[in-house]
């Protein structure tokens, strides 16, 4: 068993530099920023009050629909770190008579991924969550609005207004191409994976000898057969930018394949 705990804060950069972009696009970036963990996801967020509550619009006279949050498009903030809090893998080999069972389990706790795939599918109405676009929704947050001077005003009263997240929500101000709040695409990427499992059987030496062999073994191997994760995308380990510093992006990246292998080993 191996266990690794990761702490990787950025304590300083070159003089006059507070942030270095590792990778990303105009909507979401992976940055090395002073005071944050290395490789932290930056992007736009909802307007919030001083207590961090999402503001739900309650001004019937403005252009933004009541009962919905709205995006602070002018401010980019840290949303979450890519790297996990800790990782662990457990390798076992169990032998009973001629049978051998080998397993490898990988565990990752903490860390976030930008699920851009879901954000795009939302825009086109192709994701599972858009199937509920006729079901009333209540956004978590408190009532608020923006005053005449552009300052955010919070009532502190919990939102109870039911709204419909229909096409005007997914393709309106919140749409992917119009810089909808990037925080919506942020998802925890913890997982437990049965990375590999192999069951084999060695036939008796007597049988092998009759066939003029030293050993006969049959086996079955499976890879990535079980993945337990809160991540809604295809795989919490993918990276659209490959093996670079800019991990944490999922834009239609291919997940790890689930594979099965069967074989016979003959020793002469």
* pLDDT by residue, tens only, the chain of 268 residues: 999 998 999 999 999 999 999 988 878 999 999 999 999 999 999 999 999 999 999 998 888 889 999 999 888 999 999 999 999 999 999 999 999 999 999 999 999 999 999 988 998 989 888 887 788 999 999 999 988 888 889 999 999 999 999 888 888 888 877 778 999 999 999 999 999 999 999 998 888 888 888 899 999 999 999 999 999 998 999 988 888 888 899 999 889 999 999 999 999 8
d(CA 36, CA 9): 6
Closest CA to 190 of 86, 250, 111, 257: 111
Spell out the residues 6+ positions from residue 209 whose beta carbon is closer than 8 angstroms to its own.
none
Give pLDDT, residue 71: 92
d(CA 263, CA 60): 69
Give pLDDT, residue 211: 84
Give pLDDT, residue 55: 96
CB 171 within 8 A of CB 121: no
Give pLDDT, residue 217: 93
The domain segmentation of the chain, as residue ranges, is 2-267
Give me the phi and psi of 39, to 5 degrees please.
Answer: 65, 70
- CA distance to 10, 21, 247, per residue, from 15 (Å): 14, 16, 26
d(CA 180, CA 174): 4
d(CA 73, CA 225): 41
CB 84 within 8 A of CB 6: yes
Give pLDDT, residue 179: 75
Give pLDDT, residue 243: 81
Length of the chain (residues): 268
d(CA 168, CA 75): 24
d(CA 124, CA 116): 13
């Amino acid at each position: 068993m191996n266990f690794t705990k990761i702490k990787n804060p950025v304590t300083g950069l070159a003089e006059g530099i507070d942030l270095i972009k590792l990778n990303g696009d105009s909507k979401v970036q992976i940055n090395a920023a002073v005071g944050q963990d290395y490789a932290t996801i930056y992007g736009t967020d909802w307007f919030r009050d001083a207590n961090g509550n999402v503001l739900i619009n309650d001004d019937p006279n403005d252009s933004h629909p009541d009962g919905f949050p709205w995006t602070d498009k002018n401010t980019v903030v840290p949303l979450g770190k890519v790297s996990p809090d800790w990782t662990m893998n457990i390798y076992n080999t169990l032998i009973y008579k001629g049978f051998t069972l080998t397993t490898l389990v990988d565990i990752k706790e903490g860390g976030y991924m930008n699920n851009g795939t879901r954000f795009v599918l939302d825009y086109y109405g192709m994701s599972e969550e858009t199937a509920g676009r006729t079901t009333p929704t209540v956004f978590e947050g408190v009532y608020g609005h923006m005053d005449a001077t552009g300052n955010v005003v919070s009532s502190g009263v919990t939102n109870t207004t039911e709204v419909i997240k229909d096409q005007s929500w997914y393709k309106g101000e919140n749409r992917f191409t119009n810089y909808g709040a990037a925080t919506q695409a942020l998802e925890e990427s913890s997982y437990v994976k049965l990375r590999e499992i192999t069951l084999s059987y060695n036939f008796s030496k007597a049988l092998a000898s009759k066939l003029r062999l030293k050993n006969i073994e049959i086996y079955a191997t499976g890879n990535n057969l079980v993945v337990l994760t809160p991540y809604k995308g295809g795989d919490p380990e993918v990276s659209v930018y490959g093996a670079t510093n800019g991990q944490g992006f999922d834009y239609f990246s291919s997940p790890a394949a689930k594979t099965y292998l069967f074989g016979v080993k003959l020793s002469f």
